[in-house]
Amino acid sequence: MKKSTKGTKGFTLLEVLLAVFIFSVVALPLLSLYLQAVKTDVAARNVLNANYIAQDYIEKLDTATYPQALASLPLKEQAGDYYLSASIAPHGSAGNLFSASFVYAHLLLLEDGKMLAVMPDGKWQLYAAIPAQISLSVSAGSYTLSCDGSTLSGTAAYSYCVLVVNAMKMPPGASPTLNLGEGCKAVVYCTDANASSVILAGDGVKHKNVIAGHTSLVHVTASVYDQAGASAPVAQSEAYISIRNWS
């Protein structure tokens, strides 16, 4: 028996095309929103991961001494799928010494007879011996540190500088003279025994037997990049921390 198809009707080509068009009008904006959401989620995850790497680096500085941290500063060093750079600049709590904005510099007179100098722009130098003559001058956005004829220079954000000198572990026999130029003042942390051995030729104050002398306040900036050649970081973390001067 032949089956009747009377009353059934298929889709015409025009109807199919119209349906596809209507679907596209509805689906394309939704697809665009989905793709945008995926990009946003990936970017957010990148920032989150990069922030974790930066903050983890700063937290790990608790296990390092000041000289160790400076000697191992990462410069676009690979950290997982990212690249980490960091800088450490001297800081302090001498806000009452100048009425204008100023920068900090650090001198650590270590018990092994060496001296660590850290300048306002983060440049540093470890001297094999504590110099007898130390001179610091700051002007026109630059600084000059002279130690027995050896010069270290660079940029300074301001024309005033506080030199923080830690002599808590300075060995017997050392007797440095601090020659401070115009716009420079010194804060010296020392002991009763060696206070007279640090000679101030300029404006400054001495604090004897202060526990804070065992640490230095520094400003740490950690930047994380998604590529080694990238100029702009994915994330950046900054913190002021007290870092140990010695073990």
In this predicted structure, the answer to whether residue 161 has a pLDDT above a threshold of 90 is yes
b/e per residue, 196-213, with b = 16+ CB within 10 A?
ebbebebebebeeeeeeb
The pair of three-digit structure tokens given for residue 152, joined into one six-digit string:
């270290």
Label residue 189 by pLDDT band (50, 70, 90).
Answer: very high
In this predicted structure, the answer to whether residue 148 has a pLDDT above a threshold of 70 is yes
CA distance 84 to 51: 11
Sign of the torsion angle spanned by Cα atoms 85, 89, 92, 97:
negative
| Domain annotation covers residue 37 | no
Lowest mean pLDDT among 14-28, 54-68, 96-110: 14-28
pLDDT tens string 230-241:
999 999 999 999
Say what the pLDDT of residue 95 is.
84
Q: What is the mean pLDDT of residues 71-77?
A: 97
| SS3 state at 99 | coil
Label residue 134 by pLDDT band (50, 70, 90).
Answer: very high
User: At CA 238, angle to CA 232 and CA 240, rounded to 5?
Assistant: 155
In this predicted structure, the answer to whether residue 75 has a pLDDT above a threshold of 80 is yes
Say what the pLDDT of residue 211 is.
80
| Domain annotation covers residue 49 | no
Say what the pLDDT of residue 107 is.
98
3-state percent helix, strand, coil for the chain, nearest multiple of 5: 25, 40, 35
- Count CA atoms closer than 13 A to 152's CA, side-chain side: 22
Say what the pLDDT of residue 209 is.
94
| Domain annotation covers residue 126 | yes
Region for 225 from its dihedrals, namely left if φ exceeds 0, alpha if ψ lies in -120 to 50, beta otherwise:
beta
| Domain annotation covers residue 21 | no
Averaged pLDDT score across all residues of the chain? 91
> pTM score, two decimals?
0.84
CA distance 163 to 216: 12
In this predicted structure, the answer to whether residue 226 has a pLDDT above a threshold of 60 is yes
| Domain annotation covers residue 74 | yes
Q: What is the domain range of residue 97?
A: 60-244
pLDDT tens string 80-100:
999 999 999 999 989 889 999
Q: What are the C-alpha distances in Å from 214 to residues 145, 168, 171, 192? A: 23, 7, 15, 15
| Domain annotation covers residue 54 | no
| Domain annotation covers residue 231 | yes
| Domain annotation covers residue 119 | yes
pLDDT tens string 111-125:
999 999 999 999 999
Torsion of CA 87, 136, 156, 220, to 10 degrees: 20
Say what the pLDDT of residue 45 is.
86
Number of domain units in the chain: 1
